[in-house]
């Protein structure tokens, strides 16, 4: 029983840490973000809405702005790419 409670506490701390690092990196004060697993944040030009859930292995990529609205779940392994050239070469 003790190991179960310890594991739950450890996972909670990891989720809070990931969320804090993510929000600090994109310079956001959004409090209703839930980060379930690991993510890759290459593009720091990300705006997050309310009640957003980021599942494991999500990648934020590219140079353009990424805007995520309210009440969004981003599924496992999703790659979000934003180009600053608007489709041009």
Handedness of CA 10, 11, 16, 17 (dihedral sign): positive
Per-residue b/e over 15-39, b at no fewer than 16 CB within 10 Å? eeebbeebbeebeeebeebebbeeb
Q: Is 88 contained in some domain?
A: no
Distance between CA 58 and CA 77 in Å, rounded? 5
| pLDDT tens, residue order, the chain (89 aa) | 889 999 999 999 999 999 999 999 999 888 899 999 899 999 989 999 999 999 999 999 998 999 999 999 999 999 999 988 765 55
Q: Is 33 contained in some domain?
A: yes
Q: Is 89 contained in some domain?
A: no
Q: Is 76 contained in some domain?
A: yes
User: How many domains are contained in the chain?
Assistant: 1
- Residue-range definition of the domain harbouring residue 28: 2-82
Q: Is 60 contained in some domain?
A: yes
Q: Is 46 contained in some domain?
A: yes
């Amino acid at each position: 029983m003790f190991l179960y409670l310890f594991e739950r506490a450890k996972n909670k701390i990891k989720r809070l840490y990931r969320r804090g690092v993510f929000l600090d990196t994109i310079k956001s004060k959004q409090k209703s973000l839930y980060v379930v697993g690991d993510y890759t944040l290459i593009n720091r030009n990300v705006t997050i809405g309310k009640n957003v859930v980021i599942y494991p292995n999500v990648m934020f990529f590219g140079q353009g702005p990424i805007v995520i609205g309210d009440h969004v779940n981003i599924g496992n392994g999703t790659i979000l790419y934003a180009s600053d050239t608007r489709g041009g070469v």
